[in-house]
Amino acid sequence: MPKDPIVILMSYNEILELTVLAGKDRQGKEENFDRIDIYPGDVISIVGPTGSGKTAFVNDIEVFALKDTVTGRTILVNGKEPPEDMVCDPSKKPIAQITQNTRVISDLNVLDFLRLHIRARENGEERLIEDTICLANEFTGEKISYHMRMAELSGGQTRSLLIADAIIIDKTPVILLDEVENAGINKEKVVSCLRKYNKAVIFSTHDPYLALIADKRIVMRNGAVTAVITPKEAEKEIMEKVSEMDLFLLDLREKIRYGESFEKEKHERIKSGTEAYT
């Protein structure tokens, strides 16, 4: 007998399009868009002041909202409502959400934690553990080892591991990130890696560099989407300068982290470096 066409359509490898249909703002006014279509490989940033609704937008995608959240938005997969097992069964969910609150209440070590995920996903490939830890260590400053306890990992280490887990073990086609710049991890490497693996990435951010490198920028205000911006050529031209500034600050942060002090000579170099961007 032929397989259920819905199951074939909604399998991990066949998530071809995620669609967000407009809801309402906090006063009940319609949002300023009809639909936002998200495809594999898309990188989308969500910007706006604190309290503007960025997290609610991400949460709507994570729960596959069907006009049943406070925003009234609808999330479609390949133009249809997602099947119930995709919504309710964690092993079939094609979305990984990694928030700022990454504290893991678990006495498992990293090895056993990842083994548990492999069993849950039923892929049975233990070699994925080494790949996951290696990838996580590309994102974080302090390296993660197999036998470290999950509860002992720093926030940045935990988020790095969960992102690598979502890419290598979960193989989720859609990844949601909440203010990745606050984790103390290499944000540029994270975004570059997610592009390489053809993930659809949606992240909220206050970081100008992350906001500008996205393929689309969703602007939030009063709980609603007020604009969806696709970067134009003029905006792309300033990215080189923004990238240089970001690399300068990243280098400075690493020097401070590793205990460097800044005597007069270094202070002058830093001063001249900052003046180059004014």
Quick: pLDDT tens for 144-164.
999 999 988 888 899 999 999
pLDDT higher than threshold 50 for residue 6: no
pLDDT band per the 50, 70, 90 thresholds, residue 30: very high
Between 189 and 180, residue with greater pLDDT: 189
164 & 266 share domain: no
72 & 192 share domain: yes
88 & 113 share domain: no
30 & 150 share domain: no
pLDDT higher than threshold 90 for residue 174: yes
Full domain range(s) for residue 20: 1-94+175-231
Q: Say which range, 50-64, 203-217, 221-235, 249-263, has the weakest mean pLDDT.
A: 249-263
**In the chain, how many domains are there?**
3
Q: What is the pLDDT of residue 269?
A: 56
Give this prediction's pTM: 0.81
Q: Residue 110: CB partners within 8 Å, gap ≥ 6?
A: 133, 144, 145, 146, 147, 148, 149, 150, 153, 161
Angle at 185 between CA 182 and CA 190, to 5 degrees: 105
190 & 87 share domain: yes
**Residue at which a domain ends, from 155, 171, 187:** 171
Give φ, ψ of 34 to 5 degrees: -95, -50
